[in-house]
Amino acid sequence: MEFFRIRKDIPFMRHALLLNAFSLLTFIAAVFFIWQKGLHLSIEFTGGTVMEITYPQTAPLDSIREQITKIGYTDTQIQNFGSSRDVIIRLPLLKDQAGQVIPSADQSAAVMKVLEASNSGAKLQRVEYVGPQVGKELAIDGLKALVFVVIGIMIYLSFRFEWKFAVAGILANLHDIIIILGFFAFFQWEFSLSVLAAILAVLGYSVNESVVIFDRIRETFRKQRKMDTKAVIDSAITGTISRTVITHGSTEMMVIAMLIFGGPSLFYFALALTIGILFGIYSSVFVAAAIAMWLGVKREDLIQGERKANDTTRPEDPNFGAQI
């Protein structure tokens, strides 16, 4: 069985301008939603209390809401979680009159007390409390990790390739991240630490896709002396497309398994991965290579550099140093 039976190079770059315009639009839309709606940050970042409560029957959301408001906790979020019998209650950081943060145990205990009083069989499954200071730290650490990954990958790419490819690769993949964040902002999905982990993991994963294509572009430049840049890129992408789709497809199979069977705790993690993987394919194929093209990648950029670095080897061999 073989999915990809490609006779001629597919002219991926013919519509590069159009697709890049599309990318730019989604990018701007994503930035707009992040700016306008903001991310729905989990309490890991904002501080606060989350309680997961399970009922033997369908959870009476309205009466829960009423009871909690009665004990003076306002600005709470009460939602179903996973099934109609599970409820998740989010309490913001509450302060007493003296401006002191009320300890979480008191909060969750008070909530459980009123809920148990109504004899509905409510059972506490999980409590999570994050103080204001920890939340801030986690947010800062998250940003640090992101910066570390971006810089690390940039250094790696510029060491591995010429700067134009490094810039193109990192731009393409940052574009993916912004789009994932845009989805989370638009749908107001909860952005938690595990989503952040997923985003960073997928960043490292899909940069590799650009690396594969760039490698192939370099190889094609060496082999096909008569092709122009556009044709070289088309040929390189055509040569790698089968591998791109199959590897991402396999990874996505795993992620879909998590999405379906992983339950609510893994749902957003898997969702971030799914979006990341799908846009990773798209951006490696259409965005990264196209940016490199707009930046004016030339045969001389790649071949010259190689010769300088390896003076004693066989520069006359067109296949020298060839990789996938």
Partner 1 sequence: MNRYPLWKYLVIAVALLIGFLYALPNIFGEAPAVQISAAKPTLKVDLTTQSRIENILTEGKIKNTGLFFERTGNIGSIKIRFENTDTQLQARDLINQKLNIDLKDPNYTVALNLLSNTPHWLSSINALPMPLGLDLRGGVYFLLQVDMQGAVQKKLTSLATDIRGQLRDKGLRHQGIERAGDVINIRFGSTAEADTARSVLIGPQAELEWQVEKSADGAKLVGRFKSAALKEVQENAVKQNIVTLNKRVNELAVKEPVIQQQGAERIVVQLPGVQDTARAKDIIGRTATLESRLADPVASSIGLNETPPPGTDVFRFGENRLGVFKKSVIFTGDRITDASAGFDQNQRPSVNISLDAAGGRVMQEITRENIGKPMGMILFEKGKGEVLTIATIQSEFGSKFQITGQPTTESANDLALLLRAGSLAAPMEIIEERTIGPSLGLENIEKGFKSLIYGFAAIAIFMTIYYMLFGFFSVIALAVNIVLLISLLSMLQATLTLPGIAAMALAIGMAIDSNVLINERIREELRNGVAPHTAIAVGFDKAWATILDSNITTLIAGLALLAFGSGPVKGFAVVHCLGILTSMFSAVFFARGVINFWYGRQKKLQAISIGQVWRPEGK
Where in 170-229 is the site for partner 1 (CB under 8 A)? 193-194, 196-197, 200-201, 203-205, 207-208, 211-212, 215
Is residue 302 near partner 1 by the rule CB under 8 A? Answer: no
Q: Which of 15, 126, 223, 307 binds partner 1 (CB under 8 A)?
A: 126
242 binds partner 1 (CB under 8 A): yes
| Residue 124 contacts partner 1 per CB under 8 A | yes
Q: Say which residues have a Cβ less than 8 Å from residue 217's Cβ, sequence separation at least 6.
A: 232, 233, 236, 289, 292, 297, 302
Q: In the bound complex, what is the minimum distance in angstroms from residue 47's beta carbon to partner 1?
A: 9
Q: Of the two residues 33 and 215, which places its CB atom closer to partner 1 in the complex?
A: 215
The binder of partner 1 chosen from 66, 254, 298, 317 (CB under 8 A): 254
Cβ neighbours of 230 (radius 10 Å): 16
Nearest CA among 260, 251, 169 for reference residue 212: 169
Near partner 1 in 149-168, by CB under 8 A = 149, 152-153, 156, 160
DSSP state of 101: B
Q: Which listed residue (5, 225, 226, 308) binds partner 1 by CB under 8 A?
A: 5
- Is 70 one of the binding residues for partner 1 (CB under 8 A)? no
In the bound complex, what is the minimum distance in angstroms from residue 232's beta carbon to partner 1?
18
The strand ranges marked E within the chain are 40-41, 48-54, 77-81, 83-91, 123-130, 190-191
For partner 1, the closer of residues 73 and 129 by Cβ is: 129
Q: Which residues of 150-181 are buried (b: 16+ CB within 10 A; e: fewer)?
A: beebbeebbeebbebbbbbbbbbbbbbbbbbb
Instruction: Determine the interface stretch with partner 1 among 114-122, 145-153, 230-238, 293-301 (rule: CB under 8 A).
Output: 145-153
273 binds partner 1 (CB under 8 A): yes
For residue 237, give both structure tokens: 């992408």
Q: How many binding residues for partner 1 (CB under 8 A)?
A: 75
286 binds partner 1 (CB under 8 A): no
117 binds partner 1 (CB under 8 A): no
CB-nearer residue toward partner 1: 61 or 254: 254
Stretch that binds partner 1, among 87-95, 253-261, 285-293, 310-318 (CB under 8 A): 253-261
- CA count, 13 A, side-chain hemisphere, 292: 36
Rg (CA), the chain: 26
**Residues 7-66, interacting with partner 1 (CB under 8 A):** 7, 52
Minimum distance from residue 45 beta carbon to partner 1 (Å) = 12
Q: Any idea what the Cα angle at residue 113 is, between residues 111 and 119, rounded to 5°? A: 115
Cβ 135 vs Cβ 43: under 8 Å? yes
- Give the CA-trace dihedral at 18, 246, 180, 162, to 10 degrees: -70
Q: Which two tokens stand for residue 54?
A: 């399970």
- Assess 250 for contact with partner 1 (CB under 8 A): yes
Work out whether 269 is an interface residue with partner 1 (CB under 8 A). yes
